[in-house]
Amino acid sequence: MKLVIGCDQGALELKEHVKEVLKEFSDITVEDVGTYTTDSVDYPDIAEKICEKITSGQADRGIALCGTGIGISIACNKVKGIRAALCHNVFTARMSRQHNDANVLAMGGRDISFGPATEMVQVWVKEEFLGGRHERRVNKIMEIQDK
């Protein structure tokens, strides 16, 4: 799987940690679209970079990080085809894949500590969409963007 990851200055340390976690998966490649320093940036710009990689097919899924995860998840969800899930624990990370087929995991660098983030990422990259009734619901979500 090809993963794209990005953050604003509020989640720089979490992004570096997540990249370390992802190194344990030999079947996952990671592209980091920034930011790379603690200089202030605007999270919507990072969201666009992440989502462009996914919608163009250059990445299968993404991980989007800002201080709270709120702003960057809202921005990602403005992009057609993106289902970004702001998750706070392993349960929500797992459900976002099983029930929502989330293609972006969002987390807050000022919210989630490294321990929970490790488990969330490990679960999220491996968990599969369950389909069935959930597929009907996800299809309805995607129809809303076309109205």
62 counts as binding ligand RB5 under rule CB under 6 A: no
What are the DSSP calls for 29-79, one per residue?
Answer: EEEE----SSS---HHHHHHHHHHHHHTTS-SEEEEEESSSHHHHHHHTTS
Is 99 marked active-site? Answer: yes
Binder to ligand RB5 among 71, 82, 84, 93 (CB under 6 A)?
Answer: 71
Binder to ligand RB5 among 21, 28, 30, 70 (CB under 6 A)?
Answer: 70
**Gap between the Cα atoms of 144 and 44, Å rounded:** 22
64 counts as binding ligand RB5 under rule CB under 6 A: no
- Is the CB of residue 109 less than 8 Å from the CB of residue 66? yes
111 counts as binding ligand RB5 under rule CB under 6 A: no
Binder to ligand RB5 among 3, 10, 51, 105 (CB under 6 A)?
Answer: 10
The pairs formed by 143-147 with CB atoms below 8 angstroms and a separation of 24 or more are 145/80
* Residues within the interface to ligand RB5 (CB under 6 A): 8, 10, 43, 66-68, 70-71
Give catalytic residue positions: 66, 99
